Structure 1
């Protein structure tokens, strides 16, 4: 009953605020420049709330699948390959972005299960970012290159 009550409350909040993406926000994000621009826009709490509500309408079977769906709507795989959780190396850190808070809040809004914590959402987001290079044919391309190299080594012997 508590879950149903929470879902009804979330639906009524969504209907009051609207479920459309704010006009000046375009998703999916495709570049770090767009991330920086959106981060600046999210200084406005109203915009941050509107984006959270919009992303919170995305469903999923559990916290992990909802997080993956939100992340894939939020950014392209090409952009995700330029990000990691902490910002090590040449990559930008996702953890420190306002977008991270938006994703956590949106997933918790979409999955009103008792006990959904930021840590579960963050772990799913880390995994999604870590595997970005494998999506859109990346894994297949690496396999093809490895096979070509092994064929070349076999010829050289």
Structure 2
């Protein structure tokens, strides 16, 4: 095969090996199935490219099979292409099992002393897991960060609820502060009723039923208001947890 023609038409994965330069090749992870097919066909036909690519992958080795497989595949596939590739090629996804590239990857893995005895089956398991997890690679960190943020916010508000008390101020002010915080968290009503009662002044809390009272939270708060002689009331909508359109609490 004409190497000049190959260099003009193929995009080979990112390569930092100055020892094996190939002028004209774009060293970056592949992003489309068309580029993947072109690389695979070129590898089948060009033994020199096979050796260069094998050496390139061999330096991606890790301390174990999983690390080695992940490093090698990350250097070949963009995350977008990984999402659209499976071991068996389900639907319109690329089929890694039938690629010549699979053979090159297996050879490269076995050049690593730590993974030289890896079986075809073990390699298949790790490649399959990597490709299946591609969508998680792309959005997992962002989702986990969002979950941590929500969790931290919930815990912070729960602490504020536990520390909230009526003190010397009017009960109506305490109720408004409590409802404002309670509307931001998804805590069961028994716990919320206990928190509310705990923050009341003793002359009112001593007359309140326990948190397991059949009254819902709004009715429970209204009872405290009635005991104090207040005409103020709360509605259930004032203390329902606020939920965003994505299903997460605000």
What is the rounded CA distance, in whole Å, between the counterparts of 2:70 and 2:101 in structure 1?
Answer: 14
Equivalent residues of 1:104, 1:122 under 8 A apart:
no
- The 3 A distance-change label for structure 1 pair 123 and 25 is farther
Does structure 1 residue 35 correspond to structure 2 residue 36?
Answer: yes
Which is bigger in relative contact order (C-alpha 8 A, separation at least 6)?
Answer: 1
Query: After superposition, what is the alpha-carbon deviation per residue over 1:77-104, rounded to whole angstroms, capped at 9, x for unaligned?
Result: 1110111110111211111011111111
Q: Unpaired segments of 5 or more residues in structure 1?
A: 1-17
Where do residues 1-157 of structure 1 align in structure 2 (5 Å cutoff)? 20=20, 22-23=22-23, 24=25, 26-42=27-43, 43-111=45-113, 113=115, 115-137=117-139, 140=142, 148-150=245-247
- The 3 A distance-change label for structure 1 pair 19 and 99 is farther
Count of paired positions: 133
Equivalent residues of 2:85, 2:94 under 8 A apart:
yes
Equivalent residues of 1:63, 1:111 under 8 A apart:
no
What is the rounded CA distance, in whole Å, between the counterparts of 1:108 and 1:97 in structure 2?
Answer: 18
Given the two structures, how large is their TM-score scaled by the length of structure 2? Answer: 0.47
What is the rounded CA distance, in whole Å, between the counterparts of 1:120 and 1:30 in structure 2?
Answer: 26
Aligned Cα root-mean-square deviation (Å): 2.7
Equivalent residues of 1:86, 1:93 under 8 A apart:
yes
Q: Secondary structure at the match of 1:135?
A: helix
Equivalent residues of 2:55, 2:108 under 8 A apart:
yes
Equivalent residues of 1:22, 1:47 under 8 A apart:
no
Equivalent residues of 2:110, 2:117 under 8 A apart:
no
Q: How much has 1:114 moved relative to structure 2? A: 5.2
What is the rounded CA distance, in whole Å, between the counterparts of 1:25 and 1:39 in structure 2?
Answer: 16
What is the rounded CA distance, in whole Å, between the counterparts of 1:113 and 1:92 in structure 2?
Answer: 26
Runs of 4+ aligned structure 1 residues displaced above 6 Å come to: none
Decide which moves more: 88-97 or 106-115: 106-115
- The 3 A distance-change label for structure 1 pair 26 and 37 is farther
Aligned to 2:237: none
